[in-house]
Amino acid sequence: MQTVPGQVSRLILGCGNFGGIGSAPDFFGQGESEDEAFAIMDAAWSIGIRDFDTADAYGGGRSETWIGRWRARTGNEPTLTTKVFHSVEGDPNDRGLARERILRQIGGSLARLGVDQVDMYLIHEPDPHTPIEETLDALEEVVRAGKVRAAGASNVDVAWLEQAGGRVDLVQNSYSLLDRELDDVVVYCAEHGIRFTPFSPLAGGWLAGKYRRHQAPPPGSRMAMRPEPYLHLDDEAVYKGLDRLEAAAKNRGIDMPTLAIAWLLTDPRIKAVVVGPRRPEHLEPARAALDVQLSPEERDELASLFP
């Protein structure tokens, strides 16, 4: 793979598949093995990606631990985003954003990652059982303590952001051609100077064209392992849109995931995209997407494939 120049800071390596599938306890110990995770981190680093995204509970702590070991082994120092909300042990009673919990969880993250400070600390999702003020105060407390450089939020809507009143620097939400439900959040972030970095740019693999109508999902794929968040996409209108996206990509001489990621990267409101490769070669479409130009009209046309 070719090395990418400076603009590769627009790609963030998602480490949510290391040792599991996100924070779901049923999959702790599955997902990419430590060796596979190292190969993905090596490949990302070699093309110039310098920002890694994880969460304390990803793979039951394996994601952070393996990033920490990879840092120690290679001496490489990526900027680190991690998140707090879910249990690292899979304990359903240990969750949320209470002050004491945030102060405890950040300690675990720093230890696993082998650093004194993370660059970005995100609430993984809002906690309806804790007053937002308590959470925001706790985030500011860990910033003041030097454990976190800046704080942000994931899986939030505009109402949450309004309540937060500008006290977060970054938002990470699901956003792609197949998930534009929270478009108002993108608008809000742009208007309020909050960095917006979407996750699931391929809608869990759907925009890579791996799921076909009337066909069982490939063994080991996201739809075979953890289909719940994507079941609504098994719909004729979506398959029609995917057929047309595939044709549009072919016309340009690129592949579907490249075009889907380019659609995000060519949005001036989007600062960087969190990609989720399961093997080193999955990084190629993300790298190639950096070179694709799309006009606002072309972007609108692609969006119209998925009304």
Ligand X SMILES: NC(=O)c1ccc[n+]([C@@H]2O[C@H](COP(=O)([O-])OP(=O)(O)OC[C@H]3O[C@@H](n4cnc5c(N)ncnc54)[C@H](OP(=O)(O)O)[C@@H]3O)[C@@H](O)[C@H]2O)c1
Written as six digits, the tokens of 117 are 């400070």
Which pair of structure tokens corresponds to residue 184? 């108002």
Position of tokens 């890579």?
208
Q: Output the 3-class SS for 181-209.
A: CCHHHHHHHHHHCCEECCECCCHHHHHHC
Structure tokens given for 135: 């959470």
Relative orientation angle of helices 62-74 and 99-113, to the nearest 10 degrees: 40
Stretch that binds ligand X, among 13-21, 38-46, 90-98, 238-246 (CB under 6 A): 13-21
Taking the least distance from each CB to ligand X, the nearer of 110 and 122 is 122
Question: Judged by CB under 6 A, which of 282, 289, 292, 302 binds ligand X?
Answer: 282
Our answer to whether residue 58 is catalytic in this structure is yes
Selected from 44, 120, 203, 249, the binder of ligand X by CB under 6 A is 203
Among 10, 147, 222, 271, binds ligand X (CB under 6 A): 222
Using rule CB under 6 A, residue 16 touches ligand X: yes
**Which string of x and - marks every residue 75-114 that binds ligand X (by CB under 6 A)?**
----------------------------------------
31 lines the binding site for ligand X (CB under 6 A) = no
d(CA 233, CA 5): 35
Residues near 35 by beta carbon (within 8 Å), at least 6 away in sequence? none
Site for ligand X in 110-129 (CB under 6 A): 124
**Which lies closer to ligand X via its Cβ, residue 138 or residue 259?**
259
Contact 73, 34 (CB under 8 A): no
The reply to whether 27 sits near ligand X by the rule CB under 6 A is no
Q: Which of 161, 142, 12, 160 is nearest to 84 (CA)?
A: 142
Q: Token pair 């945030």 is at which residue?
A: 102
**Do residues 63 and 20 touch, judged by C-beta distance below 8 A?**
yes
Binder to ligand X among 155, 182, 264, 270 (CB under 6 A)? 155
User: In whole angstroms, how close is the CB of 297 to ligand X at the nearest point?
Assistant: 25
Catalog residues that contact ligand X under the rule CB under 6 A: 14-17, 22, 53, 124, 154-155, 172, 199-205, 208, 210, 221-222, 257, 274-278, 282, 285
> Annotated active-site positions, please?
58
